[in-house]
Chains A and B, each alone.
Chain A
Amino acid sequence: MTTQEELYQAKNTYKYGFSTVVETDSLPKGLNEETIRAISEKKQEPSFMLDFRLKAYKKWLESKEPHWLHGSYPAIDYQDISYYSAPKNKPALNNLSEVDPEILKTFEKLGIPLDEQKRLANVAVDMVFDSVSIGTTFKKKLEDAGVVLCSISEAVQKYPDLIKKYLGTVVPIGDNYFATLNSAVFTDGSFVYVPKGVHCPMELSTYFRINDKETGQFERTLIIAEEGSYVSYLEGCTAPSYDKNQLHAAVVELIALDNAEIKYSTVQNWYSGNPDTGLGGIYNFVTKRGVCRGYRSKISWTQVEVGAAITWKYPSCILQGDHSVGEFYSVALTNGKMQADTGTKMIHVGKNTSSTIISKGISADKSHNTYRGLVKIAKNATGARNYTQCDSMLVGDQCTANTFPYIEVSNATSQVEHEASTSKLNEEQLFYLSSRGISEEDAISLIVNGFCKKVIKELPLEFAVEAQKLLALKLENSVG
């Protein structure tokens, strides 16, 4: 580790702030039709993909950057971003041994060992480094079960019919400014396909890493769960500490058919910028949406958001199938000068659909934390039900927390409940625990994890412990 990195660590306690030196193959900065053709060509895409991209690009040119977020960000210079960056020694698919050792070391440092012996038990991982997928573990075991976990680039080549059938059906090309941009320039991401009746034998996971300084990350994830299938998927994200803002505009689409269940968990720990000056950090402008297309289908979002300079996202569920279920469990922690505007949308279309929203916001230092949510019950959604609980915790007296719940009900037989609370992590709670011999560090961890318990328990076990530690670590310097 260089002194520079140590400095960052001392200052930010962001232990993923290092960068890796690798030879890259990247496109020059700037965005025009040529850029899009070049991306498509580099990925040797079929023509339908190029059409998809170009159509999106045209829509994007016509749309305007939105600024309704509760907070602010300077206008982004889209010509100052490189839209493609890939390590030069990209391995042949399926062969991790050919990966640049520097990159393997990077993932090792991030706690994601790819080494056969050291792999996370029972978790298959796909690694995305800047614009491309580096490799996927446990391919064989998944294949035996008939489950597909691969990069979306590979899926475009291998499963064009599925891509054609589903890509852009949940988040349409022109959905919103950033999703439109993503549709034009997305470079990689994960693809999951679980066939009919298959209960995926292991947790699936993608680890996103932004390494390059000038690159935006535009990943695209598509998960399809066929009738009666089940899959649990987790994504993790980190980036080096640069003093320049970087754009991350991802799109995630989930499709659950009859009696299928998708559980999607996120632990987001992008670099959040310098806590004192607010310089640098990731703009995390992400569109995530799932559709419960089938009867009794279920989609469950769990997110632990502790990083990024600005987070702006609403993982949502369209409950189309009768008796379908949508869930949203969220912990959003902001400190330093972070801004988060996050929540969910539950759109009840089918009969007897139900949704649960549990949101826990923790704001510290000079940060802003906003929950924004929509519960919409359509006219024909008889017997629909929603339960929402939004709790905010304030640490210190310079931060803010807001809750904007929108409820639109067009059906008299539905039932919508909303609960909200705001509390303070206060000196008295800390004093109480420390007077019982518990160190300040452990006391903060106890209080915060108690506050977030309902959400943390939804995470896969391997990650729940990590998430708990992360929350405590993030708050260590904000209390006292």
Chain B
Amino acid sequence: MIEIKNLHAEISGKPILKGFNLTVAAGEIHAIMGPNGAGKSTLAKILAGHPSYEITEGEIWFKGQNILEMEPDERAHIGIFMSFQYPVEIPGVNNVEFLRASYNSLKKARGEQEVTPEEFALILEEKMKQMEIKPEFKSRNLNEGFSGGEKKRNEILQMALLNPSLAILDETDSGLDIDAMKIVAQGVNCVMNSDLGLILITHYQRLLDYIKPHYVHVMVDGKIVQSGDASLALTLEERGYDWLMQTTHEDV
């Protein structure tokens, strides 16, 4: 579904990604772990099309299409979704109004009939019930005054509504206590299906107790240095990242 080949990217002249490769097929869950500053969040933003990064080399193929030149909204239209590590607050913009604008923008781009506010209310109702989100959430403004947990749940709700074919979850567990994390993980599992490719970016192994990855990759200094199955995460938990960082330095 998505194929990232030899990706090099920089911001303000500073190289962040240095030859990143990854292929994710539908129905697969890939976890990307790594120390701070390895470029994990950069990778997520680049996949979603953040304008601040410059791609200096490499390709990203999604459903047979090179998406490097596509705008963030166009990427959303073809089924790419990124859950933000730090979702921004947008004061005064009603949550439901935003969700409907987002939902309809996808409909419109795909040449489908946009839904009316009434129809949307029903769709949203169902998703919210699934994710156990309280009704008062609808009257609030987009992420405004949300707790860390509420923001992350809002991200997963958006993912459930937009039904993407590729989802990148950037540190969805960061800043959450164990209960909040369980709820979010449950939401993700609820959305997961055989047509969806999932990239989980996480710092800690604990999220992987709740969302079971098929593959675990370790990212250090802008590229993947080690790949394995779920057990790799446990090894990392035990040994930390140092041993991998040393091997990469030796490689150089």
Contacts and interface: CB of A to CB of B under 8 A. Distances in A.
Interface of A: 423, 427-429, 431-440, 442, 446-447, 449-454
Contacts of B71: 434, 440
Given A440-B73, A442-B105, A446-B101, A435 B82 contact: yes
A428 B158 CA distance: 17
Interface in B125-147: 141-142
A437 B82 CA distance: 11
A449 B92 contact: yes
Contact of A438 (B50, B52, B84, B105): B105
Nearest to A456: B92
B90 A450 contact: yes
Interface of B: 48-52, 71-73, 75-77, 81-82, 84, 87-88, 90-94, 97-98, 101-102, 105-106, 109, 141-142, 158, 162
5 contacts: A432-B88, A434-B49, A437-B73, A442-B105, A450-B90
Contacts of A427: 51-52
A431 B53 CA distance: 12
The interface residues of chain A, by DSSP majority, are classed as helix
Nearest to A440: B73
B97 to A, nearest CB: 8
Given A427-B51, A438-B102, A439-B73, A451 B92 contact: yes
A217 B21 CA distance: 67
A434 B91 CA distance: 16
A437 B109 contact: yes
Given A435-B81, A452-B92, 8 more contacts: A427-B51, A431-B72, A435-B73, A438-B73, A447-B90, A447-B93, A449-B92, A454-B92
B29 to A, nearest CB: 21
A472 to B, nearest CB: 13
Given A437-B102, A438-B102, A432 B90 contact: yes
B102 A450 contact: no
7 shortest A-B CB distances, which residue pairs? A450-B92, A450-B93, A437-B76, A437-B105, A436-B102, A434-B72, A453-B92
Contacts of B105: 436-439, 442
Contacts of B88: 428-429, 432
B45 to A, nearest CB: 8
A432 B102 contact: no
A451 B162 CA distance: 26
A451 B91 CA distance: 6
A452 B93 CA distance: 10
Contact of B101 (A438, A453, A454): A438
A40 B20 CA distance: 80
Contacts of A439: 73, 105
Nearest to B49: A435
A436 B90 contact: no
A438 B99 CA distance: 10
- Interface-centre pick from B48, B52, B87, B90 (highest chain A CB count, 10 A): B90
B76 A436 contact: yes
B69 to A, nearest CB: 15
A434 B73 contact: yes
A447 B82 CA distance: 20
A447 B92 CA distance: 8
A434 B51 CA distance: 11
Contacts of B98: 433, 436, 446
A479 B101 CA distance: 20
Contacts of B90: 429, 432-433, 446-447, 450
A454 B141 CA distance: 13
Contacts of B76: 434-437
A160 to B, nearest CB: 48
A283 B166 CA distance: 54
Contacts of A454: 92
Contacts of B101: 438, 442, 446
A237 B230 CA distance: 66
B49 A437 contact: no
Contact of B162 (A423, A434, A437): A437
A432 B92 CA distance: 15
A86 B82 CA distance: 60
Contacts of B94: 450
Nearest to B142: A450
B93 to A, nearest CB: 4
B91 A450 contact: yes
B77 A436 contact: no
B93 A446 contact: yes
Contacts of A428: 88
A260 B72 CA distance: 52
A200 B171 CA distance: 58
Contact of A435 (B72, B92, B93, B141): B72
A421 to B, nearest CB: 9
Contacts of B72: 431, 434-435
Contact of B51 (A431, A436, A447): A431
Contacts of A435: 48-49, 72-73, 75-76, 81-82
Nearest to B75: A435
A447 B97 CA distance: 12
Nearest to B80: A435
Contacts of B52: 427
A337 B52 CA distance: 27
Q: Of A427, A428, A449, which is in contact with the most chain B CB atoms at under 10 Å from its CB?
A: A428
Contact of B50 (A431, A436, A451): A431
A341 to B, nearest CB: 25
A439 B75 CA distance: 11
A452 B92 CA distance: 8
Nearest to A423: B91
B153 to A, nearest CB: 16
A432 B72 CA distance: 9
Nearest to A428: B88
B139 to A, nearest CB: 13
B106 A437 contact: yes
Contacts of A433: 90, 98, 102
Contacts of B158: 436
